[in-house]
Structure 1
Amino acid sequence: MSTIKSQAASADTTPPGQLHIPYSSQTITIDGEINDRAWQEALEVSLNIVNDPWENKPSPVTTRAKLLENGEYIYIAFIAADPEPENIKGYLTDRDSSWTGDLVGIKLDTFNNRRLNYEFFVNPFGVQHDGIANELTGESNDLWDGFWQSYGKKTADGFQVEMAIPYSTLNFKPGTDIKTWAIELVRLYPRDERLRISHIPLDRDNACWICQMPEITGFKQATMGSNLKITPSLVASQESNRDIYTPGSDWQQENDVDAGVSLSWGLSADTQLNATINPDFSNIETDSAQLTVNKNFSLFYDEKRAFFLENADYFASNYNLVHTRNISDPDYGLKLTGRDNNHSYGVFVTNDTQTSYIKPGNLRSSVVTHDKQSHAAALNYRYEQSEDLAFGVTSTLRINDDYHNALLSVDSKYRISETNTLIAQLMHSDTRDENEGQSFILLGNEPDNKADDQAFKLALEHDSEFWRLGARHQQIGKDFRADLGFITRADFKESQLEVKRLFYPENDSLWTEANISSEWTIRHNEQDEFISRELVTELQVQGPYLSEIDIEYQQATKTGLRFNPTDSRILGNSEQFDEQKLKIYGEFQPTPGIFAGLGYQFGDQIDYNNNRLGELSKITGYLQIHATDHLYIDLYQNYIKLDADRAEVYTENLVDLRLSYQFDVKSALKLSLVYSDVDQNPDNNPSIPRDYLGKSKSLSSQLIYSYKLNPQSVFYLGYSDNSAQDNDLDRLERRQKTFFCKVSYSWIP
């Protein structure tokens, strides 16, 4: 609970045909009660239209929103009625972790240019969910965390929520004039169907939903204050390791204490400076487990570190050119972002205690790491000529004494009409790497310490009520590299056609929405040597109990790895294989607190290590249980088996178990267990030395207590360890253990 004082009132008038947010001088207490006198002055809006999956039909439940502001905060209250409150899908969870449950919230485009919008949502327990939606990429950055306040509570008739969003957490054009922003109020209501309830209708024949958001005026007194946050942090750890292959070996212990500080400063209302010195850039919670055997291209992991997440959308384009997980352990970072009318820019500079990047190829990629320090920088500039036309320029650089990779990109997005969009991007890279060697040849490229090359992409997209169509072509040169980004393929040309037909039932039906799609893709290298051809046909049907059935059939001709890895040719140096696969997946929620999903995939799969065709069996399972309002259980399992020549090649089994007990919205105790079991058959892997084959098991565990006053004022106390087993060990042996504590506090003067 918190109490927030308002400023002196003003007398704005409401422009005809627009919403207007009132200005109040009353006191607001954020406690979910909605009984403060100030709410009597608020603008009240009804959310009575279901625009997904129904087409702008009346809502089956009543939702009212109230809005007002005081020059420092925007206040929003929601009264969400429910005829069956026992079916509300709302629990105490960690921030941003229950997007599929009951939520109410607001979307704000504070520059009213229909490019980015803030999203602030709250569940019935007051758990915050926020992000930034990007119209350019069509994606939402849910990893962004703003500083704001909320409180939610269940009632006999549903639930109600209060929110206070400070102007200091928003970017907008300053000034004392009345401002015009774009706004949408939304309630997510998951029962048999997941209804999206809004105060406005949305046209399915207009692919840009943010373009359809109506305007709200007011905010004349809006000020961002000093907009200064200083966040000192202290991390203490004790890490112990031992040689598990030497019986009776002692633990080797290392203690470490690191202090750092980060700063976020709004130089003006539309320009922000972020700086950090000696930050703790480790991920507190372990990444989700992924299958790794028989994979030719690098795996993707989300960025979770606050410095890089802040205003990350300023660096977005059609390609992932700024993937900051490539920056491992910097000593400092500096970032400047800003916006002025139709112009926006972002620039950051960091160093890194090592140099790590993805080296792409046409048949496989690899991750390369050098011990030498390096520096990394990125620059992005975007010009929005109108709501329909935008241009962007992105440049990145990674450099040390023996190496540099520089990239320049120009991109554009043009909305030809409400349903048709043209996307284009042209890129050039220049690389010098004195560490180049034989590993470069293995990827299908010639060893060359100095190289430059180009890449481009052109796409025409159609998105309407019943049809999604796409025609795309891209080409990435043999020597093109984006070492600060996530591009895993090079030396290839790709053409792709996509057709999707959507269906909606007219009356009550057992199904709520369905679609059937087909996607055809063909790839060659720059010398027009064949790489792959794929045709994927998919049927998706959504039904009662939030169920979904997904059936996918894939028919493909693919190239295996090179017979002679020192020869970059494909023709005459590889074999082609025909694959047919069928994937069946289903999920449903039988009760508000239980979600279950199960998938089975079988068919042909190339055994890349031995360059032959095998038979694949893959089972994927999900089980998520809210045992109580506080206790959450999340179990994920992925099992895969590959046979070839009538014998097992390998089996891989991953189990990822997460238990969380949420004491309240700020504090939680979490336990994670990640188990991996890989068994490679020595008698059926002729291309791999027998010493590398056999059983390999690992078990990682982590126990964390966390207290989060806000996204950057946190306290963590935890323990983690790792155990391993292979052919030389008859059981799992613990080889590493760590005790750690992190404290940071965001001070706002």
Structure 2
Amino acid sequence: MRILFIAALLGAAAPLVAAPLSEPPQLPVLALTSPAPPVKIDGRLEEALWRQAPPFEAFQRFRPDSAPDAGPYRTEVRLLLTAEALVIGLRAWDPDPQQLRAPLARRDQVWPDQDSLTVWIDPTGRQQVAQFVRVNAAGVIHDGLYSAAADDEDTAPDFWEVEAAAHRLPDGYSVEIRWPLSALRYPLQGVLPWRVMVSRRVPREPALTFTSTALNREHPHLLAQMQTLSGLDEVLPERLARAEHRVLRSELTLRRGRPERASPQANLGLELQWRPRADWVLDATLRPDFSQVELDEPQLAGNTRFALFQAEKRSFFLESSEVLGHVMPDDWGVARGLLAFYSRTVADPRWGVRATWRGAQAEATALALHDAGGGQRWRPGPFGTEAEAVARASRALFARHRMQWHDDWALAGLVSVRDWQGGGQTRLLGLDFQGEPSEANQWRGHWLMSEDRTGPGASPSAHSERGHAAWVSWRHRGEGLRWHAHWEHISPRFVNDNGFVPQAGIERRTLEWVRPIHPESGPLVEWEWMVRLLDTRALRDPEHGVLQRQASAQAVQPGFWLLGPWDTGLWVHANEERQRAQAGGPLHRPRSWTLGFESHPGPRWHFAQADLTWGERVDVEADRVVRGLSLSSQFNWRTVLPTGWGLELEQRWALNHLQTPSGSEWALRERQSQTKLLLLLSPEQALRWVQQRGLGERRGEPGLAARQHRDRTTTFTWLARAGALRGWSLGLNLSRPALGAVQQRELFVKYQQGFAL
């Protein structure tokens, strides 16, 4: 396996220094120096101020193939800077406006099947993180953060202060966005030039993408290619210095349920955000109620021994999340990124405080909170994660300071502590870094040291155990070659009760080698040949039964990916694997195939996705190789009713079937489904029905006990918002957590009201 890694890297030899990019054109801004009538955000661009703002029209086509102009899809952007906000006016011409796809959709559901405009802003200028707002032709908002480190969007953060509206025109549509300076995160001293880009999506056949600046496909991320704003050198620092705010949000939740809660229960929660000056943000929360947060996506856990990653959806943890550091699973299901903080380890926060500071060449954040308990504590090993229910309360502390170094490099130090009620503590110290030695290369990594003084049930331990974790990642994007390589070493005693660490006592290497091809003609927009390599070794640890270093998981995955009509991606992989289910057990050699697709076929069936793996699989619990398959899928459908309301259906399925060695019967079967139906009354109001079902069955065999599990959850909710500071929900939850269990019923009302102080 090591020879394969070395050969793949040698075969990937290519120039590591790409040709420098030309400086993109600046975006002009009209800075209003005297009071002016406010711009009404209705999408119409009718105010006289818009005629005074200089237009920018030099958009270029990025996909399906590069072109120096937008052709008949002329696009224009105008920018205004008022005393409180950056106001953006966008005009999109269309040669066939009857083909515009502008459905009424949920927030953060502006997908590639819709005509939309996106504004990206990097207000720190350090080319690490950008805030973005995407608006479709119906005025629906999709917002979040783009990370250069991950080269990916995170749609969990919401910028509720941002206002946006769209207006249909006989020859296209227009959009207005008001982005308050208080909703942007930037330093106060030594302000770097803000970086901005505008992109436009046209879902025709083939799908078209236009950008306000030329993008180089070879660069690992888009932030270094964004434009700067002109005409603000003297005005911007003074405006930023005054962009302070104080917002107090309260939420009242009333619940009545059976059979546990015969009498109504009430909870009053408070959340305060104070920005005393532009570079500081202080957050505090008291008794937050996250009971109505949307259900997690269904996942299958019956044939894995490792903890599963769940995305964060609770608002308190999303502010300044990019400064905390990210961790996300990759295509192997392996956690990538900083392992130091994973907010889902906090089950029931009673109070929390956080401070975040941003400077021109540095940033820092510190967080402290009290968890009332009721969650799980993990103890990772090379062949599984031991989960332990913890009823004890705890306190979590986390702090990270990051410094920019020689412009293209950044170094951060961090500390993490979890104190358990009645004694017991885990501590973590570490460093992490990120650098770009050239425009085609990116390096990331960390070194972490842990100390654990807890025993079973988070009780104090008689002795402490120490461990360490190291990780290095190298991403290269060349003209005709890309690769992404990882090396990771986690010692047997590494523990972090504030982080996501599903596996320890291992050394892992992965490599993804990709040869991209961009056809000049034909139905294919892009296609790639690839090979993925994985080598995971369990480190010697006699205390946990690993008497010598041994292979845990190895794989060679050749395959291809292609992008064709209707924005359809198709991928196929052959899986040649070696897996060991337990220490000292046999090294199984299963072979299987993976077939997947993702498509945006039309305005009604607007999204379809499926990923199927079939062939030989390792039955982890039985420690054997059998025939089996696993499938995950998602289908989305929408329509517009005669009333103008939108109706949307989202269906998710996941299943896993393993056969007995004879192949005549099933040994394990799991199914998870989630059905979500929404009636969208307006961009601010919706009725939502969600039903989630789970089934897990293991057939009894010699040495394996039979078991069965069923669960079902149904929610009916009316959701409404009135601006950035007011919202409410009314609904009913019905759940049956296990087969034969009594059905739980809960009626709830939640009202949220904010106050600008």
Aligned to 1:648: 666
Aligned to 2:752: 744
Structure 1 position 399, deviation (Å): 0.6
Q: Quick check: 49-58 or 531-540, which moved more?
A: 49-58
- 1:603 matched to 2:615? The reply is yes
Contact 2:25 2:227 survives alignment (8 Å): no
* Residue pairs, 1:74-89, within 5 angstroms: 74-89=86-101
Aligned to 1:658: 676
- 1:676 matched to 2:705? The reply is no
- 1:290 matched to 2:299? The reply is yes
Secondary structure in 2 matching 1:506? coil
Contact 1:79 1:161 survives alignment (8 Å): yes
Structure 1 position 369, deviation (Å): 2.6
Q: Identify if the C-alpha distance between structure 1 residues 17 and 514 changes in structure 2 by more than 3 Å, giving closer, same or farther.
A: closer
Q: Quick check: 190-199 or 229-238, which moved more?
A: 190-199
2:66 to 43, 46, 55: 55
Q: Quick check: 739-748 or 456-465, which moved more?
A: 456-465
Aligned to 1:10: none
Contact 1:208 1:418 survives alignment (8 Å): no
Contact 2:144 2:156 survives alignment (8 Å): yes
Q: Deviations over 1:347-367 (max 9, x none)?
A: 010011116332211111133
Which amino acid is the alignment partner of residue 298 of structure 2?
Answer: A
Which amino acid is the alignment partner of residue 644 of structure 1?
Answer: T
- 1:417 matched to 2:438? The reply is yes
Q: Identify if the C-alpha distance between structure 1 residues 477 and 254 changes in structure 2 by more than 3 Å, giving closer, same or farther.
A: farther
Contact 1:26 1:37 survives alignment (8 Å): no
Aligned to 1:44: 55
1:455 to 452, 460, 469: 469
Contact 1:614 1:645 survives alignment (8 Å): yes
Aligned to 2:403: 383
Contact 1:27 1:38 survives alignment (8 Å): no
Which amino acid is the alignment partner of residue 669 of structure 1?
Answer: L
Aligned to 2:709: 696
Q: Identify if the C-alpha distance between structure 1 residues 689 and 178 changes in structure 2 by more than 3 Å, giving closer, same or farther.
A: closer
Q: Quick check: 271-280 or 348-357, which moved more?
A: 348-357
Q: Quick check: 289-298 or 331-340, which moved more?
A: 289-298
Contact 1:638 1:655 survives alignment (8 Å): yes
1:581 to 592, 596, 599: 592
Contact 2:244 2:278 survives alignment (8 Å): no
Over aligned residue pairs, what C-alpha RMSD do you find?
2.3
Q: Identify if the C-alpha distance between structure 1 residues 409 and 437 changes in structure 2 by more than 3 Å, giving closer, same or farther.
A: closer
Q: Identify if the C-alpha distance between structure 1 residues 18 and 624 changes in structure 2 by more than 3 Å, giving closer, same or farther.
A: closer
- 1:28 matched to 2:28? The reply is no
* Residue pairs, 1:339-418, within 5 angstroms: 339-354=358-373, 356-400=376-420, 401-418=422-439
Aligned to 2:239: 222
Q: Identify if the C-alpha distance between structure 1 residues 313 and 511 changes in structure 2 by more than 3 Å, giving closer, same or farther.
A: same
* Residue pairs, 1:6-21, within 5 angstroms: 18-21=26-29
Distance in 1 of aligned mates of 2:511 and 2:596: 24
Which amino acid is the alignment partner of residue 99 of structure 1?
Answer: W
* Residue pairs, 1:109-124, within 5 angstroms: 109-124=122-137
Contact 1:240 1:252 survives alignment (8 Å): yes
Q: Identify if the C-alpha distance between structure 1 residues 725 and 435 changes in structure 2 by more than 3 Å, giving closer, same or farther.
A: closer
Structure 1 position 301, deviation (Å): 1.2
Q: Identify if the C-alpha distance between structure 1 residues 369 and 712 changes in structure 2 by more than 3 Å, giving closer, same or farther.
A: farther
* Residue pairs, 1:94-243, within 5 angstroms: 94-100=106-112, 101-146=114-159, 147-174=161-188, 180-217=193-230, 218=232, 219-220=235-236, 222-223=239-240, 224-241=242-259
Distance in 2 of aligned mates of 1:458 and 1:587: 31
Contact 1:44 1:64 survives alignment (8 Å): yes
Structure 1 position 725, deviation (Å): 6.4
Aligned to 1:335: 354
- 1:558 matched to 2:569? The reply is no
Contact 2:75 2:92 survives alignment (8 Å): yes
Distance in 2 of aligned mates of 1:720 and 1:178: 49
2:325 to 316, 330, 355: 316
Q: Identify if the C-alpha distance between structure 1 residues 450 and 178 changes in structure 2 by more than 3 Å, giving closer, same or farther.
A: closer
Distance in 1 of aligned mates of 2:185 and 2:733: 39
Distance in 2 of aligned mates of 1:363 and 1:431: 20
Stretches of structure 1 lacking an aligned partner (at least 5 in a row): 1-15, 242-250, 439-446, 562-569
Aligned to 2:553: 532
Contact 2:615 2:629 survives alignment (8 Å): yes
Aligned to 1:426: 447
Q: Identify if the C-alpha distance between structure 1 residues 109 and 588 changes in structure 2 by more than 3 Å, giving closer, same or farther.
A: closer
Secondary structure in 1 matching 2:282? strand
Secondary structure in 2 matching 1:38? helix
- 1:590 matched to 2:601? The reply is yes
Structure 1 position 56, deviation (Å): 4.5
Q: Deviations over 1:458-514 (max 9, x none)?
A: 23321123211133211000010121111111000112222111110112x111111
Contact 2:511 2:532 survives alignment (8 Å): yes
- Number of equivalences: 696
Contact 1:89 1:593 survives alignment (8 Å): no
Q: Deviations over 1:189-211 (max 9, x none)?
A: 22234433111101223223201
Q: Deviations over 1:566-615 (max 9, x none)?
A: xxxx2xx3121111110112343332221333443211111111111111
Secondary structure in 1 matching 2:601? strand
Contact 2:588 2:625 survives alignment (8 Å): yes
Identity of aligned residues (%): 20
Distance in 2 of aligned mates of 1:448 and 1:469: 46
Aligned to 1:93: 105
Q: Deviations over 1:263-318 (max 9, x none)?
A: 00002101010011111133422112112211211111111111110111111153
Aligned to 1:637: 653
Secondary structure in 2 matching 1:331? strand
Which amino acid is the alignment partner of residue 130 of structure 2?
Answer: N
Aligned to 1:687: 703
Distance in 2 of aligned mates of 1:554 and 1:19: 48
1:488 to 488, 502, 524: 502
Q: Identify if the C-alpha distance between structure 1 residues 449 and 721 changes in structure 2 by more than 3 Å, giving closer, same or farther.
A: farther
Distance in 1 of aligned mates of 2:518 and 2:352: 50
Structure 1 position 252, deviation (Å): 5.9
Aligned to 1:281: 290
Aligned to 1:623: 635
Distance in 2 of aligned mates of 1:453 and 1:136: 26
Q: Identify if the C-alpha distance between structure 1 residues 40 and 26 changes in structure 2 by more than 3 Å, giving closer, same or farther.
A: farther
Distance in 2 of aligned mates of 1:448 and 1:506: 68
Q: Identify if the C-alpha distance between structure 1 residues 113 and 725 changes in structure 2 by more than 3 Å, giving closer, same or farther.
A: closer
Structure 1 position 53, deviation (Å): 4.2
Distance in 2 of aligned mates of 1:437 and 1:502: 50
Which amino acid is the alignment partner of residue 523 of structure 1?
Answer: T
Secondary structure in 2 matching 1:39? helix
- 1:70 matched to 2:88? The reply is no
Contact 1:411 1:425 survives alignment (8 Å): yes
- 1:715 matched to 2:728? The reply is yes
2:487 to 460, 473, 484: 473
Which amino acid is the alignment partner of residue 381 of structure 2?
Answer: G
TM-score (norm 2): 0.88
Which amino acid is the alignment partner of residue 22 of structure 1?
Answer: L
Contact 2:720 2:729 survives alignment (8 Å): yes
